[in-house]
Copies of this chain bind each other. A is one copy, B any other.
Amino acid sequence: MKLLNVAGYVLLASVLCPLAMHSQARVPQHPLDALTTEEYWEAHEVLQKSGHLSEKTYVSTLLLHEPLKSTVLAWKEGDAIPREADIVLEAEGKTVEARVDLAAHKLEFWKVIEGAQAPFTNTEMDAIAEVSKKDPRVLAGLKARGITDLSTVHCQPIPLTFRVFPEEEGHRIGYGTCTDERGAYHYWGRTIENLYILVDVTAEKVLSVVDRGPIPMPTGDASFEESEAMPREGTTPLLVTQPMGPGYKIDKGEVSWQNWNFRFRIDPRVGAVVNLVKYKDGERLRSVMYEGSLSEMYVPYMDKDQGWSWRAFLDAGEFLMGGLFKPLTSDDCPDRAQYFNGLVPSDTGSPMLKPRLACMFERTLDNPAWRHGEPDLTSGRPSRELVLRTAAVVGNYDYILDWVFQQDGTIRVAVGATGIVETKGVKEDHVEHAMGDGPPKPEYGTLVAPHLLAVNHDHYFSYRLDLDVDGQNNSFMIDRLVPQKVEGAVRKSIWADESSMAHTEKDAILDLDPKRPGMWHFINPAQHGAMGYPTGYEIMPGATGVAFAAADDPAQRMGQFATHQIWVTPYVPEERYAGGTYVTSGKGMDGLPAWTAFNRRIENTDIVAWYTLGFHHVVRLEDWPVMPTMWHDFLIRPMNFFDKNPVLTIPHQP
């Protein structure tokens, strides 16, 4: 019987119990481990004893406060483990930051953050939903639509991301609509449109109700789960098995697989945080990345109607209620996957154990790692890879978020978008003359069902990538492919590779332009490979989109990080979120735009890259009632890090 010692528990290997869920360790093994149940309660106790709490103080976020990088890098097994928790509280309209030293049972500070708003808590959301549904103006609006049975109606105001109303100064303002789930088993696609509610969450009252008149309820079939499963003709089983168990190991939270070593935790704000990523190159265990994680999301909708122009989300910073990161199922990960639980805080700060927040598995894509054919000999090797997967559910939308480790030293970061597209009730029950020879089709969305418009929108994912290539001091090198005129040869024009170093942050705020291509490298100026090149890693975009709305747009101000594809900053422990720490009712320009305004030096020092993967979404009928998964990705890949192809010697069996 093979045993895996996972984070303090001895658990059966997935070979015997493929769906076994591996819990959080009760005692942290490493300074970067997620907070444990005991630590949640320790924080709770310290806060309770602090004398600062009223009955209406709610925990909005509760996160591991990472020790200093120098501390972590110096730490070795057996040393004391520094442990702190960062807590953001909503205290009767005030936003409070507190830090608890868990080992010392001590409140380090409790400070009111002026002008900032904590993420909405479930308590607030539930309370204002109740208030909204009882408001006479709302009731009148519902009645005007013939809706008097309120038992099936939800009125759910949600936080306003950007600051546009004077009421937002000092008050938490939400907006929303009602839905009627009548006839379906969920309420998506069942919007009671044209009835818009603005609420003061702090004062627990409805500020205003705008009723632009009844329109028909959408009637499209939203019941995607009830559809009968119909295996397609001729389908035969396709089985992937690992009879000897997985090819990776997890020892005290450290994953080792095919020359890779790394740790990870589930953070309730940004999900999977991958740490201390190293590659074993011969006898050397070489540093690639100190930390990588999602940092923020930005999802602006593109409808100018009242009640809709409010809709822009910075999902990671806004929606921590219960955690963005939701349980995975056996349809999300293969049977052989190993699952990992995680803890997220309740409004009182108590830990809620969420099962299966991540899964890990090996797969072969049936692609060669390399190959070459000569007339008499074709050589090659099959490849496999390791996937660390989480899924975020943000209301209607679902995102599959993968960190994929390849044998050749490449990390592929992939985002699969699925779930339900956001819809709006409209008058139209079909589109006429969609061909340009009559009235135009709706320019703000796609009519996916009668009276149901799936509204155009964008998705942006900012990743914080604290690469430490062969150590902390790195530089950001840009290799631009520059056109060059040729004289005295048969060619007239070629391109040359011109390397330059980014000296300060402004040098490293870069846009993709297919006609002016460039490559983005983290290099270690002090480490050179066999041929003399500095060792490096490249951040290589996949297909991606840019947020191109005007700069004075309040949503765009919040999502300004998405207007450029890469930014590079000096490592500062507090700089973790591309859109700033507090995005609820934000004024914008926080995070990357604010930090880089100082144009700090980023050369030969500890630096962090911020890459934004984005895409525009004009919805297809095929995306309704639930969207086929659409993937986007980018690569973090070795660039003169190894002296030669690192997968030359892998065997012929995948």
Report if A305 contacts B (CB, 8 A): yes
Report the separation of the CA atoms of residues A229 and B379 in the bound assembly, to the nearest whole angstrom. Answer: 12
Known: A431-B532, A629-B368. A645 touches B242 (CB 8 A): no
- A443 → chain B closest CB, angstroms: 4
- A628 → chain B closest CB, angstroms: 4
- Are A496 and B238 in contact (CB-based, < 8 A)? no
Tell me which residues across on chain B come within 8 A of A380, comparing CB atoms.
329, 331-332, 418
Enumerate 28 A-B pairs (CB-CB under 8 Å) in ascending A order.
Answer: A162-B490, A225-B377, A227-B648, A229-B381, A231-B653, A236-B242, A238-B240, A239-B243, A303-B494, A304-B494, A305-B489, A331-B380, A332-B371, A334-B654, A370-B626, A371-B626, A372-B396, A372-B418, A372-B626, A431-B531, A432-B532, A493-B552, A515-B548, A530-B621, A542-B543, A621-B641, A622-B640, A628-B646
- Are B645 and A622 in contact (CB-based, < 8 A)? yes
Within A226-248, the residues touching B (CB, 8 Å) are 227-248
State which of B245, B418, B647 has its C-beta within 8 Å of the C-beta of A370: B418
Q: Which residue of B lies closest to A500 (CB)?
A: B436
Report the separation of the CA atoms of residues A224 and B549 in the bound assembly, to the nearest whole angstrom. Answer: 50
Tell me which residues across on chain B come within 8 A of A646, comparing CB atoms.
622, 628
Report if A366 contacts B (CB, 8 A): yes
Question: What is the oligomeric copy number?
Answer: 2
State which of B370, B379, B517 has its C-beta within 8 Å of the C-beta of A629: B370
Tell me which residues across on chain B come within 8 A of A337, comparing CB atoms.
366
- Are A371 and B391 in contact (CB-based, < 8 A)? yes
Tell me which residues across on chain B come within 8 A of A621, comparing CB atoms.
529-531, 533, 640-644
Known: A643-B621, A644-B621. A370 touches B229 (CB 8 A): no
Report the separation of the CA atoms of residues A624 and B484 in the bound assembly, to the nearest whole angstrom. Answer: 26
0/1 string, A588-628, CB within 8 A of B gives 1: 00000000000000000000000000001010111111111
Report the separation of the CA atoms of residues A554 and B486 in the bound assembly, to the nearest whole angstrom. Answer: 12
Known: A230-B649, A368-B418. A242 touches B237 (CB 8 A): yes
Known: A331-B380, A372-B398, A393-B373. A616 touches B239 (CB 8 A): no
Known: A246-B236, A550-B493. A533 touches B371 (CB 8 A): no
Within A525-543, the residues touching B (CB, 8 Å) are 525, 528-534, 541-543
- Are A419 and B371 in contact (CB-based, < 8 A)? yes
Report the separation of the CA atoms of residues A499 and B450 in the bound assembly, to the nearest whole angstrom. Answer: 21
State which of B372, B444, B627 has its C-beta within 8 Å of the C-beta of A393: B372
